[in-house]
Structure 1
Amino acid sequence: MNRRVLTLGTGAVALAAFGFGYWLYPHGELAGPAVTGQDDTYVRPHSPVIGKADARVTLVEFFDPSCEACRAFHPILGQILARHPEDVRLVLRYAPFHQGSDEAVRILEAARLQGRFEQVLDALFARQPEWAAHGAPNLAAAWRIAGVAGLDIERARKDGRQPQVDRVLQADTADLQSLQVRQTPTFFVNTRPLLSFGPRQLYELILSELDAPR
């Protein structure tokens, strides 16, 4: 089957995600180390990485947990990782533009310390409409959702206030400013920006990097 067929499917999934919600995707490997050989502005040592350490393509996403478009792209990225498990890895960077998103980042970072980052990220996206109303986020609901996903809330509330989480927020905010990230999600593929926004365009940019000479 031609791998470019996925470019048609992702477009349909994006529309469906906006209209009908969220599908869980197969989980990859959550790695700790940063991507080697990449500009630190794109990838920091603290950045969550899903995929193989030696993947040929590094997909960097600046995302906001409160962002509806980020929620829509979430299963699409899972499809891409599932389609290219050896060759594509996803690096997640925080862009907490919306009110309350910095607290959601603290939840995610606390979840990472408990080894439940992906489960909590999935849950926050899956139930995003329950907590992420713009201008009036229900962060108590976000914490409850994380607890249902398996997070130890008492421990997480302490961990989320650790200085290291402050440093993560500071570093990612500085990098999104340096890279002139103005909206979420914003994607870079091997540091190449996605100039024409859309799931098909993103997948074609990834394929162009996969097809490039080694």
Structure 2
Amino acid sequence: MNRRIVVLVISIITAVGFVAAAIFQQQFSSEQEIVPPAPLDPNSLVRSYSPVIGPKSAPVTIVEFFDPSCGACRILYPIVKQVLAEHPGDVRLVMRYVLFHRGSEEAARILEVARKQGLFVPILEAILDAQADWHDDPEAQKAWEAAAATGLDVEKAREVILSSEIDAVLNNDMADVKAIGIRRTPTFFVNGVPLTKLGAEPLRELVRSEIERAAQ
């Protein structure tokens, strides 16, 4: 009898977990109304040191304020990647760090040392894939392991992980996060225009409209 109760309880917990995961996935794959930040200085969106994916001369710039520990950022990253692939030459992605969660700072530092080694994109994707294993770990050990497996020279990375240069990147990004009023991740701007609905189609529509505007 006791064994049956234990099995029943485990089954219920598992079912609840699957339902919660499905709700989370649906929440961020559908369109969501979001409140854009207050009017801001356009210069605070893109900094000269910010990581850039795509051609630097592209007429349309997507700025994403993202937290490496953020589940929604992980879910939406493939969509952003698709948007870039749909408009080669026309769109670039500028990534700004937001450090709202445990493990976020360590993961951001890993990304910065990966950038110095020319591995920013593959290691970004690797640590996002492994996010469930490290997002609540301040030392982000599994993120380090994922980065190492993707080719990061960990010994060299450890030598510069706490450098004043990386400190400045993270501190300046968080100062802009506060000044702009970023309260959730991801937050997107396209050529300075805030994305007011979080979803694949609203992002695509805003990008298309800005490409058309830039071509006029």
Per the normalisation by structure 1, the TM-score is 0.79
Structure-2 residue corresponding to 1:12? none
Alpha-carbon offset, residue 174 of structure 1: 0.7
| Equivalent pair of 1:64/1:97 in contact (CA under 8 Å) | yes
Q: Letter of the aligned partner of 2:78 in structure 1?
A: P
Q: Letter of the aligned partner of 2:160 in structure 1?
A: D
1:47-83 deviation line (CA, Å, top 9, x unaligned) = 0111112211100000000101000111111100110
1:130 aligns with 2:152: no
Structure-2 residue corresponding to 1:188? 189
| Equivalent pair of 1:51/1:81 in contact (CA under 8 Å) | yes
Q: Paired residues, what number?
A: 180
Structure-1 residue corresponding to 2:150? 149
Q: Letter of the aligned partner of 2:82 in structure 1?
A: Q
CA RMSD of aligned residues (A): 2.0
Structure-2 residue corresponding to 1:62? 65
What is the distance in 1 between the residues matched to 2:194 and 2:153? Answer: 37
| Residue identity (%) | 48
Structure-2 residue corresponding to 1:43? 46
Structure-1 residue corresponding to 2:15? none
Find the structure with the greater CA-based Rg. Answer: 2
Higher relative contact order (CA 8 A, sep 6+): 2
Q: Letter of the aligned partner of 2:75 in structure 1?
A: A
Q: Any residues of structure 2 matched to 1:195-214 within 5 Å, and which? A: 195-212=196-213, 214=216
Alpha-carbon offset, residue 138 of structure 1: 5.8
- Give the SS at the match of 1:40: helix
1:115 aligns with 2:118: yes
What is the distance in 1 between the residues matched to 2:154 and 2:80? Answer: 28
Alpha-carbon offset, residue 18 of structure 1: 3.6
1:9-43 deviation line (CA, Å, top 9, x unaligned) = xxxxxx8x948xxxxxxxxxxxxxxxxxx932001
Alpha-carbon offset, residue 140 of structure 1: 1.5
The runs of 5 or more residues in structure 1 that have no matched partner are 1-14, 20-37
- Give the SS at the match of 1:55: coil
| Equivalent pair of 2:65/2:97 in contact (CA under 8 Å) | yes
Structure-2 residue corresponding to 1:4? none
Per the normalisation by structure 2, the TM-score is 0.78
| Equivalent pair of 1:69/1:185 in contact (CA under 8 Å) | yes
Q: Any residues of structure 2 matched to 1:17-56 within 5 Å, and which? A: 18=25, 39-56=42-59
1:169 aligns with 2:176: no
Which stretches of structure 1, 4 residues or longer, exceed 2 Å deviation after superposition? none
What is the distance in 2 between the residues matched to 1:40 and 1:120? Answer: 28
1:91 aligns with 2:100: no
- Which range moves more in the overlay, 166-175 or 50-59? 50-59
What is the distance in 2 between the residues matched to 1:61 and 1:139? Answer: 22
